Amino acid sequence: MFKLFKYLKPYWKMILITSIILLAQVVINLLVPNLLSDMIRCIDPSLGNKAIIQILCKGGIALLAVLGVIVCQISTSYFSSKIAMGFGRDVRSAVFKKTQRVALNEFYSISTSSLINRTTNDITQVQQVILMAFRVMLNAPIILIGGCIMAFSLDTQLPFVIIAIIPLLILLFVVVGKLIIPLFKVMQTNVDNLTTVTRENLTGVRVIRAFNTEEQENQRFAKVNDMVSKVNTKANVIMGINMPTVELIFSLCIVLLLYFGALKGSSVADITALIQYGTRIMMGCIMMVMMFITIPRASASARRINEILDLPETILSNDKVKTYKTGPYIGKLEFKNVTFKFDGAENPTLKDLSFKVEPGQTLAIIGGTGSGKSTVINLIPRFYDVTSGEILLDDVDLRDYNPKELRQHIALASQSVELFGGTIKENLMYGNPNATDEEIKQATKIACADSFIEAKPEGYNYMIQKGAGNLSGGQKQRLNIARSLLKKPCVYIFDDTFSALDFKTDATIRKNIKDNIKDATIIIVAQRVNTIQNADKIIVLNDGKVVGQGTHDQLLQDCPEYKEIVESQTKQNRVKGVE
């Protein structure tokens, strides 16, 4: 957890102010029992009005002292909240930024549900400890030591009663800690599981309903939910037993102070003050022990947070290095003996790939499931780095580019469409915030999205719901294509983007792209042969290897794998009555 303390550095001034206020609060708080004791001593009927005046004076001072404590507590709460909330905000921001920077293989090493919990629940746990530290941890030792000093200044023997009770409190909290700390770790795991099940059910609701598995999912959710409930109930029962036991120990301390005070013949004023100091001393012990119970839970959360912050930034290791490129970007792309293997995989996904595409050309990639098509696409914007070989953009190795600058010149439209909450216009401008209305309309026209957009009453200001549930699959895909076109890069990548479109719309969009984009490099990954047959070059992948390169006609003559794909799709189309 100490690794996260560096995020407290910007708040050192507030930490200093809070510490000073806390010290003042404790000092004033320790003076209050003495003031109450003095008031009790003034209760003497023989003094008449003089006693009343003394009680009022000392009572006024005591009230001012209590008011001072209240002001200090409010100030401490304000500053400690500012520190803790600022710390939480900064750590959340660091975690979020980290997830944006790491390579995809590192990003996917932690589940999405766990990432959400770490960014929310775990940071909140550490944040609460920081808050408690300023309200309790700094407070407790001073109260404990100061209380003992003040108690012994009143009586040299009775305070030992209080000290004798303290081990009982410590023993109680040690037992509670041993019982409850393991439960905290189980609770975090269970919450992760509950979040995972909930997320899967919410995102996969259509699949669940289509397969009539609502009851099965209800049982699955109920099982995880019951586990969370049982562990939390057990923890709450343990904590519930804890507080009554503390009150019993407090009561025992008061009884013993009264008993031994009466035997010793101590005054009522001294015994009252000792009870007050005893309460403060034991509260100091309780606060310290509670911190020691809370810290392990926060430490477990801190370890989970640090797992994210410590992820290696293999892709962005050159983030601060200037790109070794001069001149404009033209989009010349070349793979030279590229091999790629995922971490932990036994065999490479891509094996010794080599091909070249010139600016203004359209390159198509086709192959069976698992042939490595998407992996090739993911290497171009440096979502991953090659295991061996090199990829060149305009004769510069991708690893020598600043990744942010590299991605400014690449537009990726994937089969899985991600649209964000907001208007259609805001989503289209996601990669080009400075796009004009004319450019937006031109991009949507090329992508055949203008007709359905303009048919809506709000037009381009139509609000897209979360998850784009108010748009059809084809509409989402056309917006996805338009968003990529609006970016105006030197390399366009369409990763199975046309699969959600009918044949006519597919052909129209491809013709529009060919007519309007002349100088950029276009890469199309597709399953349908008719989507790629007019490409300048087609690459056929099989088991991560290039088994054929050339035009449609050349591959029909020279590549058996390509010919087999064409024949199988031709047969399917004949069966469906489509030629």
pLDDT, tens only, 242-294: 778 878 888 888 888 888 888 888 888 888 888 888 888 877 777 776 777 67
Confidence category of residue 579, pLDDT binned at 50, 70, 90: very low
User: In angstroms, what CA-CA distances link 285 with 9, 147, 397, 398, 445?
Assistant: 29, 11, 63, 60, 72
More confident residue, 323 or 312: 312
pLDDT at residue 201 in the model: 83
pLDDT at residue 540 in the model: 92
For the chain, give every domain's residue range: 9-309, 329-409+521-579
pLDDT tens-digit map of 413-433? 888 888 888 899 998 998 888
Average pLDDT over residues 427-445: 90
Confidence category of residue 573, pLDDT binned at 50, 70, 90: low
pLDDT at residue 308 in the model: 86
Q: Is the pLDDT of residue 577 over 70?
A: no
**Any idea what DSSP says for residue 119?**
I
pLDDT at residue 363 in the model: 94
Token digits of residue 93: 């921001």
| CATH H-level, domain 329-409+521-579: superfamily | P-loop containing nucleotide triphosphate hydrolases (3.40.50.300)
pLDDT at residue 312 in the model: 76
pLDDT at residue 494 in the model: 92
pLDDT at residue 207 in the model: 77
Confidence category of residue 351, pLDDT binned at 50, 70, 90: very high
Average pLDDT over residues 54-63: 82
Average pLDDT over residues 178-192: 79
pLDDT at residue 182 in the model: 80
Write down the residue that tokens 């009561």 correspond to: 251
pLDDT at residue 280 in the model: 82
pLDDT at residue 127 in the model: 87
Average pLDDT over residues 57-84: 87
Q: Is the pLDDT of residue 136 over 70?
A: yes
Confidence category of residue 388, pLDDT binned at 50, 70, 90: very high
Q: From CA 150, how far away is CA 37, in angstroms rounded?
A: 12
Q: Is the dihedral of CA 130, 135, 141, 142 positive or negative?
A: positive
* Domains 9-309 and 329-409+521-579 in one fold: no
pLDDT tens-digit map of 509-543? 989 998 998 889 999 998 888 888 889 999 999 98
Confidence category of residue 174, pLDDT binned at 50, 70, 90: confident
Confidence category of residue 317, pLDDT binned at 50, 70, 90: very low
pLDDT at residue 445 in the model: 93
Q: From CA 210, how far away is CA 233, in angstroms rounded?
A: 36
The values of phi and psi at residue 102, to 5°, are: -75, 160
Token digits of residue 493: 């990548």
Q: Which residues contact 17 (CB under 8 A, 6 or more apart)?
A: 79
pLDDT at residue 35 in the model: 79
| CATH H-level, domain 9-309: superfamily | ABC transporter type 1, transmembrane domain (1.20.1560.10)
Burial class (CB in 10 A: 0-12, 13-18, 19+), 483: buried
Write down the residue that tokens 């293999």 correspond to: 314
Stretch among 39-43, 147-151, 360-364 having the lowest mean pLDDT? 39-43
Q: From CA 31, how far away is CA 277, in angstroms rounded?
A: 10
Token digits of residue 13: 């001034």
Average pLDDT over residues 43-65: 77
Token digits of residue 401: 């580019």
| Cβ atoms 23, 140 nearer than 8 A | no
More confident residue, 95 or 206: 95
Confidence category of residue 483, pLDDT binned at 50, 70, 90: very high
H/E stretch holding 80 reads helix 49-101
The values of phi and psi at residue 412, to 5°, are: -120, 125
More confident residue, 104 or 13: 13
Q: Is the pLDDT of residue 443 over 60?
A: yes
**Rounded to an integer, what is the distance from CA 99 to the centroid of its chain?**
8
Average pLDDT over residues 204-211: 76
More confident residue, 213 or 296: 213
Residues found in the chain = 579
Q: From CA 437, how far away is CA 163, in angstroms rounded?
A: 78
More confident residue, 202 or 493: 493
Q: Across all residues in the chain, what is the average pLDDT? A: 84
